[in-house]
Amino acid sequence: MEKVGHGDKDAFAVLYDAVASMVFGIAVKVVRDRSRSEEVAQEVMIDLWRQAARYRPEQGSVMTWVATIAHRRAVDRVRFARASADREHAHAVRERVRPFDEVAEQVEVRLESEQVRRCMRGLTELQRQAVTLAYYRGLTYREVAEVLRAPLPTVKTRMRDGLIRLRDCMGVTT
């Protein structure tokens, strides 16, 4: 370990051969996912290279020290994954919106549009013109009266009668 602590690559190769399978075994037991365990084992081996100078033989054997580092790293990975999943779940709950069926919405809009067109055909020509100018072109009653060259009270009556017919045709209850 002292040689590894001074950057001796050959000594690290010997250490690697001695502990790699144990490190991976600990990771698999804790993480329970082979690919993530491989990542954890790789991280532990990098930690061993970087922290070798910190090893103190009076505090325990090299195998115990390595096993402790491997176990802590694996537990950290599990905690991180769990916290990440919890955050994602919490976010999904906060952002939960009812599923939107775009196709159903389009079909409903199309059916309603067809029903409106059918009902509009049931109006007199004067009612249809007044309603179209007011609701599809956004004109005021006064502007509709000017376009149709009709008195304002007549336009209001046509609109009222036309809207009543549309309401009844569409099956809208008040």
Query: What domains can be seen in the chain, in order of their start residue?
Result: 1-96 (1.10.1740.10), 98-174 (1.10.10.10)
Percent of the chain with pLDDT over 70: 96
Q: Can you give the pLDDT at residue 104?
A: 74
pLDDT tens track for 68-89: 999 999 999 999 999 999 998 8
Helix (H) or strand (E) holding 123: none
Specify whether the CB–CB gap between 37 and 20 falls below 8 A: no
DSSP state of 59: G
pTM for the whole thing?
Answer: 0.54
Confidence label for 100 from pLDDT (cuts 50, 70 and 90)? low
Specify whether the CB–CB gap between 81 and 88 falls below 8 A: no
Specify whether the CB–CB gap between 67 and 26 falls below 8 A: yes
What mean pLDDT do residues 124-135 have?
90
What mean pLDDT do residues 46-69 have?
95
